[in-house]
Amino acid sequence: MFDTLSDRLTSVLQNLRGKGKLSDADIDATAREIRIALLEADVALPVVREFIKHVKERAKGAEVSEALNPAQQVIKIVNEELVGILGGETRRVNLAKTPPTVIMLAGLQGSGKTTLAGKLATWLKKQGHAPMLVACDLQRPNAVTQLQVVGERAGVTTYAPEPGNGVGDPVDVAKRSIEEARHAQHDVVVVDTAGRLGVDEELMQQAADIRDAVQPDETLFVVDAMIGQDAVTTAEAFRDGVGFTGVVLTKLDGDARGGAALSVRQVTGEPILFASNGEKLEDFDVFHPDRMASRILGMGDMLTLIEQAEQAFDQEKAEQAASKLGTGDMTLEDFLEQMQAVRKMGPIGNLLGMLPGAGQMKDQLSQVDDSQIDRLQAIIRGMTPAERENPKIINASRRQRIANGSGVAVREVNDLVNRFYEARKMMQQMAGKFGFGGGGGSAT
């Protein structure tokens, strides 16, 4: 799922790379292509409209960033808007103050409710709960047996009407199951309800009656992400007919275009709590909007880099450093700060590896060793402020003291001081070449 959308978005955003500045026309063209990509992925029209509107407004109104280049800024905005339509923060299950917590499942037949009951039970057990499944789908032949089989596989109790008593009353079963859960000390009850192939009144009424009987802490609307635009209409019907507090997307492992998954939260206003991506009990997880967005954007590394660059970027210090670089005034203190800023961005090999065009540098990168940087930092920390300010005063006895203090050989202190002079010389030359010695300038 999302493969085509992912490819499309990646290529649209890649077209922005290398642009020093984005004009309004660039932004409009990009927005247009994103719009087409979303529509082709079957995302509901109102959701697409809202999305594009926000991206455009934010991209046009964005301040020039010192930490990010224009392409990165747009990627960041698109990512944040995607996280937004997927619900923002991860939403956890509401647990009742007084157990049992009641979780009711509703949705069309075949949406994956029964399978989900088993998955939820497995997951809840792992979280330290003692769940019980309740079979309230008493219409479909075998539905009860199917839930019992799933329950057995998950290793949990399934509450079901005695066989041979004819078709029981699902509302009655639901009510009695809560008493049973209290009695047998199950702290979570998962109620599986009947589904139909299409939305119908009777189905809605029965689900609403069960809801009234058990007062669920969560009603989860289970929706097959493969059904495309129908997901949205079905979700609206369930919202109006039964009401729900959260959505579970199933069959995300399928090859549908994924628009349903991207629309249902925005259209219903209810969060997606879980996602299912396979037939096995383990193919299931809590839904994290941010992870899903970066999966859709297919730019995990780039997004990490953007985040880290923003975190590590301290504009004031960077400006100070930039103005010093060209004049040859850089001190060991500045050198230390620069190293710390780079270090904050994560392991240096990874960091450089994420940059576009780093491919050919792989061999050199593998030799960059974070522990070397840490050693350099330790040596500088072993110096007095005066020594950091003016390395010229570091004579033989000072070198010995610094080496002892930072636990390295004198040779390493010598190396560092020499490297520092080399770096300073290189910076001065680069500043001359690129003209960033006078302060300011854009960091890209």
Return binding residues for GTP: 107-114, 192-196, 250-253
Contacts of 81 (CB under 8 A, 6+ apart): 51, 54, 55, 58
| Residue 136, number of CB atoms within 10 A of its CB | 30
Regarding 114 and contact with ligand GDP (CB under 6 A), the answer is yes
- β-strand pairing of 188-193 with 218-224: unpaired
> Closest separation between CB of residue 178 and ligand GDP, Å?
21
263 binds ligand GDP (CB under 6 A): no
- Would you give the end-to-end CA distance of the chain in angstroms? 34
Q: Which of 70, 195, 259, 298 binds ligand GDP (CB under 6 A)?
A: 195
In sequence order, what are the beta bridge partners of 272? 247
- Torsion angle, CA of 5/8/9/15, rounded to 10 degrees? 180
- What is the footprint of ligand GDP within residues 365-384 (CB under 6 A)? none
In the complex with ligand GDP, the residue whose CB is nearer, 70 or 258, is 258
Q: Which of 84, 99, 110, 353 contacts ligand GDP by CB under 6 A?
A: 110
Residue 424 binds ligand GDP (CB under 6 A): no
Give the 3-state DSSP-derived string for 110-150, with helices as H, strands as E and coil as C: CCCHHHHHHHHHHHHHHCCCCEEEEEECCCCCCHHHHHHHH
Q: From residue 347 to residue 366, what is the string marking binding to ligand GDP with x (rule CB under 6 A)?
A: --------------------
Q: Is 258 in the site for ligand GDP (CB under 6 A)?
A: no
122 binds ligand GDP (CB under 6 A): no
Write the CA distances from 370 to 91, 319, 402, 414, integer angstroms.
37, 25, 21, 20
Please report whether residue 250 would count as binding ligand GDP according to CB under 6 A.
yes
Which residue from 365, 381, 383, 379 is spatially nearest to 416, judged by alpha carbons? 379
Instruction: Find the binder of ligand GDP among 251, 265, 288, 399 (CB under 6 A).
Output: 251
Size of site (CB under 6 A) for ligand GDP? 17
| Minimum separation from the CB atom of position 363 to ligand GDP (A) | 43
Q: Is 17 in a helix, a strand, or coil?
A: coil
Task: Pick between residue 72 and residue 114 the one whose CB is nearest to ligand GDP.
Answer: 114
Which residues would be at the binding site for ligand GDP (CB under 6 A)?
A: 107, 109-115, 195, 250-251, 253, 276-279, 283
